[in-house]
Chain A
Amino acid sequence: MTTATELNSFLVGVEQKAYRMALMAVKNQADALDIVQDAMLTLAEKYAHKTAADWTPLFYRILRNRITDTHRSRQRGWRRFGPAAAFDLDGDADDADPIAALPAAPMSAPDARSELDATTERLAALVEGLPQRQREAFLLRAWEGLDVAQTASAMGVTAGSVKTHYSRAVHALRAGLRMDEVPSGHE
């Protein structure tokens, strides 16, 4: 049986990253916390018997499903009650409603970013603005160090799809950082 210590160590290692990923996806702090909490509970209740090596892709798969559920729920509100309902919920899936077409909301208050250097801050803004699946592929590989197969398992897509999304993300991020360099007039 899984010991509480093992699972606790795992959750300590992923909780903040998971929260930040969820927040980028749903752009609402309370929803992001609920999503992470639900993912933690589901992992503990349903998948704790799996090996620790399986936990990372499983956890992020659950997290992704919960994010998708939140988007679906908001989409129902949008369809039934119109834009007001979606605004009440602080946005929607990035390819499901007009709000998502707006520039990504800041992940955190500007003050919270003051400790980030300019390049890191710019990268954060660019990642937040990526389409959801590109962002997921990039962050799972960059933050969690998952390989292509693990990322595919976590995202519920094929390895080829992961490669495509990741490649597009890297291209977009590098292009974004390069564009940002022009107005600064140096380097």
Chain B
Amino acid sequence: MSEPANEDDLLRLARDWRDAPGATPDADVQARLRLAREQAIAALPTTAPMVETADSAAAPGVPVRWLLGGAATAGLALVLTLAIRTDGDVPVDALQVAAIEEMMDDQALLEDLEFIAWVAAEEFAAEEIGEAG
């Protein structure tokens, strides 16, 4: 076996691996991926999406109800979410208000906030049950 002489050789080797026929997912997986892709295409919005803002994000039906506590709470929650997601490796500019406002447009992030709230509530409930038991 020859050792990759440098980073470029290593990257070339990685691309060979990426493109190798033997590394291609099997037919069943490819069929599932094709189906997933078709469903995604079918889910394309037919109208231009509304730009999410702090106000609209808190509207009924959008899963960020608990952000209604105010901008400070939302900002703190966003930073905490980033801290959790990145194991403490929070980008410095994430601590700036402008950057936080931009993140309010990140639907995936907002969904994560709701997820974290749900997990916290679930774990709190579990502890309550454990203490009561």
Q: Closest B-chain residue to A161, C-beta based?
A: B89
Query: What number of A residues sit within 8 Å (CB to CB) of B?
Result: 65
If A40-B40, A69-B115 touch, whether A76 touches B25 (CB-CB below 8 Å) is no
A residues apposed to B, CB below 8 Å: 1-2, 4, 7-8, 11-12, 15-17, 19-20, 29, 33, 36-37, 40-46, 48-49, 61-62, 65, 68-69, 72, 76, 80, 108, 112-116, 118-120, 122-124, 127, 138-139, 141-143, 152, 156-158, 161, 170, 173-174, 177-178, 180-181, 184, 187
**The one of B10, B21, B36, B92 that contacts A40, using a Cβ cutoff of 8 Å:** B36
**Complex alpha-carbon distance, A139 and B82, angstroms:** 22
With A17-B18, A72-B119, A114-B22 in contact, is A122–B40 under 8 Å at CB? no
From B29, B49, B115, A19 is in contact (CB under 8 Å) with B29
Smallest CB gap from B38: residue in A: A8
Contact status of A174 and B40, CB under 8 A, knowing A20-B23, A69-B112, A108-B23:
no
Q: Write out the residue numbers on chain B whose beta carbons fall within 8 Å of the beta carbon of A143.
A: 14-15, 18
Judge if B61 is at the interface, Cβ distance under 8 Å: no
Contact present for A116 and B108 (CB under 8 Å): no
A69 cross-chain contacts in B, Cβ below 8 A:
112, 115
Minimum C-beta distance from A64 to chain B (A) = 9
Residue on A nearest B24 in the bound complex, by CB: A16
CB of A33 within 8 A of CB of B32, answer: yes
> Are A157 and B11 touching (Cβ within 8 A)?
no
Number of A-B residue pairs having CB atoms within 8 Å of each other in the complex: 155
Shortest C-beta distance, B79 to chain A (Å), equals 13
Q: Which secondary structure characterizes the binding site on chain B? A: helix
Residue from B1, B30, B107 with most neighbouring chain A CB atoms (10 Å): B1
Report B40 CB to chain A, min CB distance, Å: 4
A187 and B2 in contact, given A116-B23, A123-B14 (Cβ under 8 angstroms): yes
- Roughly how many angstroms separate A27 CA and B45 CA in the complex, as a whole number? 33
Q: Measured between alpha carbons, how far is A107 from B89 in the docked complex, in Å?
A: 28
Q: Taking chain A's interface residues, is the majority helix, strand, or loop, or is none over half, making it mixed?
A: helix
25 contacts between A and B (CB under 8 A): A7-B41, A11-B40, A15-B33, A15-B37, A20-B25, A42-B108, A43-B40, A44-B40, A44-B41, A44-B44, A49-B48, A69-B115, A72-B119, A76-B123, A80-B126, A108-B23, A115-B20, A118-B1, A119-B13, A124-B17, A143-B14, A156-B85, A157-B91, A158-B89, A177-B3
Q: Which residues from chain A contact B32 at a C-beta distance below 8 Å?
A: 33, 37
Q: Are B4 and A177 in contact (CB under 8 A)?
A: yes
A41 to chain B, nearest CB (A): 5
